[in-house]
Chains A and B, each alone.
Chain A
């Protein structure tokens, strides 16, 4: 009997290495009008430096920056957890197109959005926010 391939999830569960800043682990997915948002908990690689970087992001916290087509990223501090999270958004139409593309091209993988995309979106956001030192993989 042929083994069925499971349907891929939308966001990779991680951990995803965000440069030398932190590693990100998926803690939830929410649906918003027109897009899905993957919430990633960040585990700093160096606490003191992480706090320094986040304090420099102040003005940009919550600002969605579309680094890749159909994908945006931001750092957020949700009230319920009171710690910085990485939020990655995927437009619904684009997500559907990515899913269809993966099927058509027979691309393997367990998630529609790849770890590479999450990492790139996060690094792009940091660079946009003026943090370039940590963007180096």
Chain B
């Protein structure tokens, strides 16, 4: 019963993790190593895709969310990504008191453009990846855990 009620209660923190097609996606070893310990910490975990933030399982079901390019021009995907990120910020970000963003990969430039000047940007804690050690560093786990629990 407690678990059910916890599931119904609005969550106050969201962790946004940018995806990198073919390298860093839900189910990939590095992603799982980093995110698995954070899944029971009471925060929503969303994957930042070309169609904006989506729940992690959606990426496994629909890989096109991450790499929709196919026969399309990159510019069309860029426009879509920016617009949907901004739409998410304007409609959904207000539900969260705190937004934690892992600053990693090429998706960041779209996020930066989309979030610029919004109230959500002020509530965002950006976790920077150490250039020397990369994502697979225990310090990354600790930083993320600290950011979503405090």
Contact = CB atoms under 8 A, between A and B. Distances in A.
Interface of A: 67-70, 93-94, 97-98, 100-102, 104-105, 107-109, 114-117, 120, 123-124, 127-128, 135, 137
A101 B68 contact: no
Nearest to B77: A116
Nearest to B55: A69
B18 interface: no
B72 A116 contact: yes
A101 B87 contact: yes
B91 A114 contact: no
B40 interface: no
Given A105-B113, A116-B72, A97 B91 contact: yes
Interface string B77-108: 10110111011101110000000000000000
B137 interface: no
A101 B83 contact: yes
A73 to B, nearest CB: 12
Nearest to A105: B82
Interface of B: 51-54, 58, 61-62, 64-65, 68, 70-72, 76-77, 79-80, 82-84, 86-88, 90-92, 113-114
Contacts of B82: 101, 105, 107
Contacts of A94: 87, 91
15 contacts: A68-B52, A69-B52, A70-B91, A98-B84, A100-B86, A101-B83, A105-B83, A105-B113, A107-B79, A107-B83, A114-B76, A116-B68, A117-B80, A127-B61, A137-B70
B54 A123 contact: no
Contacts of B83: 98, 101-102, 105, 107, 114
Nearest to B51: A68
A104 B79 CA distance: 12
Contacts of B62: 67, 120, 124, 127
